[in-house]
Amino acid sequence: MRKLFSTNYTDAAFNFSMLLIRAGFGFSLFYNHGLSKLQNFAGRKNSFSDPLHIGSTPSLILVIFAEVFCALLITAGLLTRFAALVLTIMFIVLVFIVHKNDPLKEKEDVILFLLVFLAILFCGPGKWSLDKLIGK
């Protein structure tokens, strides 16, 4: 019971937590958001949101890169900080440009993803990652 209220933690607990966060949020972003955009690219390329005014197709390509490839990199723990930076930038655009006028309740998920990928950017992937295995 004492351990439940302790502020101490072990390196193993931190590394396991980073694995859970990376795998859970990375795979969720890939499976629930990125995969459908990748599969329906042709149907969405001309009507996709263009918050940066670079065109619908380039915007969709950037989002697919982030939500598919960077999400899978995060899940595996490979090039983790680079992938987390890309996803953090994407979610900043979503929070402050795309959803800027939405009520907090409607953009809560976007804010949570932003905070998680920002934390991964700062903390790194942990020891249980491909980055650690290849010595990055």
**Contact present, 129 and 103 (Cβ < 8 Å):** no
pLDDT of residue 6: 83
pLDDT of residue 53: 95
pLDDT of residue 66: 98
Q: Residues in the chain with pLDDT < 70?
A: 1, 136
pLDDT of residue 136: 61
- pTM metric for this prediction: 0.92
pLDDT of residue 4: 79
